Each structure stands twice: as structure tokens, then as C-alpha cells.
Structure 1
């Protein structure tokens, strides 16, 4: 049986060290950046009620996620709502789409959900 030279042993140590570092960094990345949807979902909404509030409108909007119908309320600028064709989108939490405390209404000319 042949012996491993000192140089080969050093290369093996370096390779094992790199593998260990890669595993530790991979584990850290997995813990800090869990898989799954991190950004909000967005779907079209149907306005079922409007209530003037100064230069704004309080809207009651129905929206459907995964075949389940939900309802939320929110305020938008009246002039922009009418000039955008009375179209409204609902930003929602994909993990709990019916949680109306976490929904936001957006108009077509607004930034996308959670973007500035």
C-alpha cells in the first residue's frame, strides 16, 4: 500500500476545510433566508361599495385567492381612482390571504405591492 505524501495530505485537508465551510455557510443561508414566498400576493378586486371621505374614497372590495372569496376595505385618492378607470388591486399576505388587517389597496399607477 502506498503512503500519502505530505503535499497530498495538505490538499485533502484544504478540500475538507472548504467542504465544511460550504456546509456551514449553506446552513446559515438556509436559516437566515427561509424558502417560500416572502413577497405579498396581488390580485384584482371588485369594488362593491364606495364612500366619499374628502378627496379620498373609502372602498369595500371583494377579491378571490385560491378559489376563496374575501372582502377588505381601504382608502384611495378619488381623482386617481376615477382617472385609472375605477380599477383596484389588492395586496395580501399569501400565508393568510383573508387577514384583512394585512391587505392594502393599490391603483394601477401605484408601485407594485411592497415596492417604493
Structure 2
């Protein structure tokens, strides 16, 4: 881990290797784009009055965390792949983030 608690290396587009401590010692785990977004949500939600956030809020937080994800990858995940009420236009989708109002999302 780097001094700010972020994973030190990358592994493929949209993935980051993270050190995880467990009873069997330290092991490496790949953090997907979804993993990185979900990990950032508590900090993003804490800054908003109602717990909702925009795709730009997620982009800004992941930039602050020095994520290797591109802006378009982050936005695609928030508004489509992870959005509970978006049309299924990807091979794999998740019901993580309901779209609650114009450009606003919330963890489901």
C-alpha cells in the first residue's frame, strides 16, 4: 500500500492490485472498476446532504485516490453497468446504484 492507503500497482485496464491482510497472511487481490467505485462511495456519500452523488463526484473521488481508471470507464460504470434502473446493454450488469433523480445516484 502507498502512504495514502491506495494499492501500489495496476493489473490490466480498470483493475488494480490491492494487498489484503488475512489470517493466512498478505495476499494480492485484483480490484475491478466496480470494486474501486464501491470502495469510494462511503467518502462520496458523506460529503452530500442526502447521500446521493453524481458521476462527476465519483470521478473526482477516484482521481483523488489516484485510480488508474479512465473517466469514461468510471462514468460508464456509474450510469450503466452499476445502475439498477438502466437498460441492460452490457454482458454483466449490477443493481448497485439506483438512479434517483436527474444525474443523481444513490447506493441501493
**Length-normalised TM-score, structure 2:** 0.26
Higher strand share goes to which structure? Answer: 1
Larger radius of gyration: 1
TM-score by length of 1: 0.25
